[in-house]
Amino acid sequence: MSNLVTLGEVKNKVYDLSMACYDELVPVKDIEFNKLDSVKIRGESYPLKPTAQYALSNRLGIPIQYLRKCPPELQAVNLNYWLTRERNENLFFRFDGEEVRAVFTPKYKPVDNWEIIEKLNSLGYAEDTKVQCYLDEEFMVLSVLDGNEVFSVNGDRFAPGISISNSEVGLASLSIAAFVLRLVCTNGAISKTQVSASYRHVSLKILKELPEVMKNVSLDLVKQRDQYRISLESKVADPLATIDSFNKQFQLGEKEKEAVKWGWFQEVGETMFHVVNAYTRAAQFPGLSAESCYRLQKVGGCILGMVK
């Protein structure tokens, strides 16, 4: 799911993805590994999704790159040995049907995507509210637009708003930031502002504070409008070399770099405005994960914030 949709469509997709999901506190004594991608709980085997594999290897202090090079039987020996050193009596397992999608300590208090949608509904955002959303099983970035605050820069129309990102499997904290959408091509930049907010999943505090945080973040949108204007006046001698430098600075993966290259050829020009839009357009590249779409929009916002 991507580009402009309604909040109701996002809600339906979120509920579809969560239909088979459930959580359980599992006693460590009831856990035994078959190999890196399979675990027994009370004698019954469950596949481990990659996010759960990474979480468990990190929790047990075993480099996952090493484990992936080991044969299955050695993977099991390593994992089961270090499991005996686990300090918690229970671990918090998140399931998707018969698969384990994530594992945390008992202190973890999840904020699920459906809770965010319901909170927005309770704040008066109707089902037909236009939003931009990138959503998959691991990550959601949901940007809510403010149609009353549309502004123009050199003939381009922009709609500001608020971007909410969340990962139910621990890829990132629940975060809220300023967002600006370029309407002609639905490129979106997630900006790092002084009032951006990020909350680890150890409480539900964010949902209670959501109205105030959204209000505070929106106050910084005037700055974003000015930054776009300045970026159009900022000439770049070698845009491709500049993009290559930013790719390294923000440690983009190969698929993300490919997306930025594709985005650049949609946005060719000789100013920082065009460089920024190469990254925000890159989020529309086919086959990207929702997390990568979020990263590219955030990089675009970070670069925009650097413009002087």
Residue with token string 């996010």: 51
Residue 219's pLDDT is 64
Closest CA to 1 of 289, 279, 235: 289
Considering Cα of 77, then 81, then 84, then 85, what sign does the dihedral take?
Answer: negative
Closest CA to 169 of 139, 199, 209, 124: 139
In order, the DSSP letters of 246-295 are HHHHTT--HHHHHHHHHHHHHS--SBHHHHHHHHHHHTTSTT--HHHHHH
d(CA 205, CA 36): 34
* pLDDT digits (tens), the chain, 308 positions: 557 899 999 999 999 999 999 999 999 999 999 999 999 999 999 999 999 999 999 999 999 999 999 999 999 999 999 999 999 999 999 999 999 999 999 988 888 999 999 989 988 899 999 899 999 999 999 998 876 677 787 778 887 888 889 999 999 888 888 788 877 666 676 665 434 455 555 555 666 777 776 666 666 666 777 888 889 899 999 999 999 999 999 999 999 999 999 999 998 899 999 999 999 999 999 999 999 999 999 999 899 888 87
| Residue 3 CA, distance from chain mean position | 15
Residue 90's pLDDT is 97
CB 271 within 8 A of CB 233: yes
Residue 194's pLDDT is 39
Residue 193's pLDDT is 44
d(CA 79, CA 196): 38
**Which tokens in the block code for residue 264?**
């650049």
Residue 220's pLDDT is 64
Q: Where are the domains of the chain?
A: 21-96, 112-306
**Which tokens in the block code for residue 163?**
């971007």
d(CA 70, CA 64): 10
Residue 262's pLDDT is 96
d(CA 169, CA 103): 8
d(CA 185, CA 60): 45
DSSP code, position 140: E
